[in-house]
Every structure is written in C-alpha cells, then in structure tokens.
Amino acid sequence: MTFVQRNVIKDKEMSKEKIEVKTYAGYKADEGPSAFVWQGKKYKASKIESSWQEEDLISRKRKDFFKVKDEGGNLFILSHSKVSDEWLLEEKQ
C-alpha cells in the first residue's frame, strides 16, 4: 500500500456518498472491498486495481483508498476511514 499526504478540500468532501461495503477477511482483518451497495444497487468487486493511504495535513486523519473494478468493467474509487469506520464512494470513473 502506498502512503500519500494531501489537504482535503471541504467542499469536495460534501459531494461524496456513503456506501455499504462487504470486505475480504484474510489473514489481516478487512483487507479490501469485495462488494458494495450504491444507490440501492449491489456491485461485486472483480478486482482491486490499486490501493493507497492518504492523510489530511491539518487533522492528520488517514483514509484507505481502493480503486475497484466491478464485474461490468466499471471503475470506482472507494475510501474507508478507520476512525469512523465509514466507507465513501469518492468517484465513479
């Protein structure tokens, strides 16, 4: 996993959507998303293209990010805050 620092823009934060996520449970707890529900539709992850961490420069809070490809070939950027245990859909590509 790569580590990146950035300053989160608060206005951009407001456009992100909370989602429900099912995670893989390997030798480490909750390794990555295996499926998620967005706008009432379930998406199954066929591949995690990449993952990384980002840290807000002011609050120092870290989030895990996952670039996920679903079974239909669509790409999504999902984030997880371990502090709040909240998953967000950051972007649909």
- Number of structural domains (the chain) is 1
Q: Quick one: how many helices (H) and strands (E) in the chain?
A: 1, 8
Q: Smallest Cα–Cα separation from 79: which of 92, 67, 70, 61? A: 67
**Whole-prediction pTM:** 0.77
Domain of 11 in residue numbering reads as: 2-92
Say how far apart CA 17 and CA 1 lie, in whole Å: 24
**Band of residue 12 on the pLDDT scale cut at 50, 70, 90:** very low
For 20-72, what is each residue's pLDDT tens digit?
A: 999 987 666 557 999 999 999 999 999 999 999 999 889 888 999 999 999 99
Rounded-to-integer distance, Cα 10 and Cα 58, Å: 12
pLDDT at residue 92, as a whole number: 94
